[in-house]
């Protein structure tokens, strides 16, 4: 069987699957599951085109890795065929540990577990299945491989993961502020002292990349309606888990039911094969199916919350740089109790506050290094003449207030 296939991608055109091993990894059920997990969770509630999946994103990131390696080789950097395949596999699998609506899942069904750790565990499982052929890919993913710059292409301030998701998310949402000059940035990449650097000529493209990331967070990822949908799902899963703990036999597909019935933390997730088996069987469809049934559940709170999400009657969300006063929150709680006819002790499902944060550039965490014409290497914060680059380093914190519409 010929496994060197070509995939038609709406963002980049044709993407090549370069080897039989990469083809077999893509064909594995762990990776195929990503077809059924949306890249942007609840964002389609605001931007109807945002229905692309983590499967799309992983293939796109692999394509950019292929372009980057070809470019780095052309500049005299030694990257073997084995290292190329390992880097392609590492970035292909970097998001394999995401669950459905990953942030809602991380807050509700499992606690204290990062998707990166799950990705590593699944890569290790795949490595057993493929008889050790992913050893180098795992080392690159973990940052323990001898050539550091290969890991920096996967995880850093200017990695190919971010390049693809900014480009792809702007394409599918239609938000043009996220469009970046990914091809220009890749052409300016180089390696200096085993670190990934960007040649000085590409500095303006990187500045645009950092600004685009900041704008996409406010306009897409942290849009107040997206937040309303995600917070609603968090509350729904929290209520479902509470009811399950009280002995209520909720309708749910078996793998979702497993997480509702059990308190899963880091220890019993990674040490328990049953947890991993159920996790790799979970996708967006399990959540949607359950929500549609829970609309008619006997518990008034679960039913109301599910109805709100299924029918897009979302929370009213206010975003502010100041905390909401305790008096106003109390007044909203009293009004919500009267509107919904529920007990005051349960009003936290409908009226609550939270915090959102946005930081476009984290100096000290995989800094963007600029290779100057005199061969000096400077952090972009020093090399750039962009006056507001310092502001991109600051964490902007805003407060959100959620409550039902109609009060």
Domain regions of the chain by residue span: 6-220, 224-357
Q: Which pLDDT does position 387 carry in this prediction? A: 57
User: How far is C-alpha 352 from the geometric centre of its chain's CA atoms?
Assistant: 24
Q: Which pLDDT does position 306 carry in this prediction? A: 98
369-371 sheet: strands from edge to edge: 189-192, 195-199, 369-371, 377-379
Q: Higher-confidence residue: 267 or 5? A: 5
Please name which of 198, 177, 178, 175 lies closest in space to residue 186, comparing C-alpha atoms.
198
Hunting for tokens 């469009």 — which residue is that? 179
Q: Which pLDDT does position 338 carry in this prediction? A: 95
Task: Quote the DSSP letter at residue 233.
Answer: H
Q: Per residue in 189-222, pLDDT tens? A: 999 999 999 999 999 899 899 889 889 999 999 9
Q: Per residue in 292-312, pLDDT tens? A: 999 999 999 999 999 999 999
Give the mean model confidence (pLDDT) for residues 35-50: 96
Q: Higher-confidence residue: 393 or 97? A: 97
Q: Which pLDDT does position 364 carry in this prediction? A: 60
Q: Architecture of 6-220 per CATH?
A: Orthogonal Bundle (1.10)
Residue 181 pLDDT > 80: yes
Q: Which pLDDT does position 379 carry in this prediction? A: 84
The DSSP-derived string for 191-230 is EETTEEEEEGGGHHHHHHHHHHHHHHIIIIIT-HHHHHHH
Q: Per residue in 5-25, pLDDT tens? A: 999 999 999 999 999 999 999
Q: For residue 393, what pLDDT band results from cuts at 50, 70 and 90?
A: confident
Give the mean model confidence (pLDDT) for residues 343-355: 96
What is the Cα–Cα distance from 207 to 189, expressed in whole angstroms? Answer: 15
Please name which of 141, 134, 138, 167 lies closest in space to residue 64, comparing C-alpha atoms.
167
User: How far is C-alpha 405 from the geometric centre of its chain's CA atoms?
Assistant: 29
Domain 224-357 matching CATH 1.20.1250.30: the answer reads yes
Task: Quote the DSSP letter at residue 130.
Answer: T
Hunting for tokens 């947890």 — which residue is that? 275
Q: Which pLDDT does position 366 carry in this prediction? A: 66
Please name which of 328, 397, 392, 388 lies closest in space to residue 157, comparing C-alpha atoms.
392
Give the mean model confidence (pLDDT) for residues 378-405: 81
Q: Which pLDDT does position 272 carry in this prediction? A: 85
Cβ contacts of 294 within 8 Å, gap of 6 or more: 236, 240, 250, 251, 302, 303, 306
Cβ contacts of 217 within 8 Å, gap of 6 or more: 358, 360
What is the pTM (predicted TM-score) of this model?
Answer: 0.94
Give the mean model confidence (pLDDT) for residues 379-384: 81
Q: Are 202 and 183 in contact (CB under 8 A)?
A: no
Q: Which pLDDT does position 396 carry in this prediction? A: 86
Burial tier of 334 (Cβ tally within 10 Å: 0-12, 13-18, 19+): middle
Q: Higher-confidence residue: 347 or 107? A: 347
Residue 376 pLDDT > 60: yes
Residue 120 pLDDT > 90: yes
Q: Which pLDDT does position 108 carry in this prediction? A: 78
Q: Which pLDDT does position 395 carry in this prediction? A: 81
Q: Are 165 and 94 in contact (CB under 8 A)?
A: no
Task: Quote the DSSP letter at residue 109.
Answer: T
Q: Which pLDDT does position 112 carry in this prediction? A: 79
Residue 106 pLDDT > 80: no
**pLDDT averaged over every residue in the chain:** 93
Q: For residue 156, what pLDDT band results from cuts at 50, 70 and 90?
A: confident
**3-state SS assignment for residue 335:** helix
Q: For residue 29, what pLDDT band results from cuts at 50, 70 and 90?
A: very high
Give the mean model confidence (pLDDT) for residues 46-54: 97
Residue 162 pLDDT > 80: yes
């Amino acid at each position: 069987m010929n496994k060197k296939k070509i995939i038609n991608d709406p963002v980049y055109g044709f993407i090549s699957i370069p080897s039989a091993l990469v083809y077999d990894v893509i064909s594995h059920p762990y990776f195929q599951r990503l077809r059924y997990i949306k890249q942007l969770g609840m964002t389609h509630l605001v931007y109807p085109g945002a229905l692309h999946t983590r499967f799309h994103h992983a293939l796109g990131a692999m394509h950019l890795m292929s372009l980057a390696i070809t470019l780095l080789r052309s500049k005299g950097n030694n990257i073997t065929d084995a290292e190329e395949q390992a880097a392609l596999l590492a970035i292909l699998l970097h998001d394999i540990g995401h669950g459905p609506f990953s942030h809602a899942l991380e807050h509700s069904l499992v606690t204290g577990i990062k998707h990166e750790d799950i990705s590593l565990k699944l890569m290790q499982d795949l490595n057993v299945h493929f008889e050790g052929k992913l050893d180098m890919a795992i080392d690159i993913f973990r940052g323990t491989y001898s050539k550091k710059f290969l890991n920096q292409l996967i995880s850093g301030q200017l990695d190919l993961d971010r390049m693809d998701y900014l480009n792809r998310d702007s394409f599918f949402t239609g938000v043009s502020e996220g469009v970046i000059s990914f091809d220009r940035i890749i052409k300016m990449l180089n390696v200096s002292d085993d670190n990934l650097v960007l040649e000085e000529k590409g500095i303006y493209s990187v500045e645009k990349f950092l600004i685009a990331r900041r704008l996409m967070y406010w306009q897409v990822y942290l849009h107040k309606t997206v937040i309303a949908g995600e917070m609603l799902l968090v509350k729904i899963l929290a209520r479902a888990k509470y009811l399950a703990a009280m002995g209520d036999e909720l309708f749910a597909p078996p793998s979702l039911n497993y997480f509702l019935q059990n308190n899963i933390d880091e220890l019993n997730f990674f040490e328990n094969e049953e947890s991993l088996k159920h996790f790799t069987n979970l996708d967006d469809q399990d959540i949607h199916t359950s929500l549609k049934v829970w609309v008619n559940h006997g518990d008034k709170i679960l039913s109301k919350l599910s109805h709100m999400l299924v029918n897009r009657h979302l929370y009213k969300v206010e975003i502010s740089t100041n905390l909401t006063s305790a008096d106003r929150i109390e007044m909203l709680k009293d009004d919500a109790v009267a509107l919904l006819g529920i007990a005051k002790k349960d009003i936290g499902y409908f009226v609550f506050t939270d915090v959102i944060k946005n930081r476009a550039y984290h100096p000290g965490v995989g800094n963007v290094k600029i290779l100057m014409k005199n061969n000096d290497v400077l952090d972009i914060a020093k090399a750039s003449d962009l006056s507001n680059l310092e502001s991109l380093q600051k964490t902007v914190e805003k407060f959100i207030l959620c409550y039902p519409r109609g009060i």
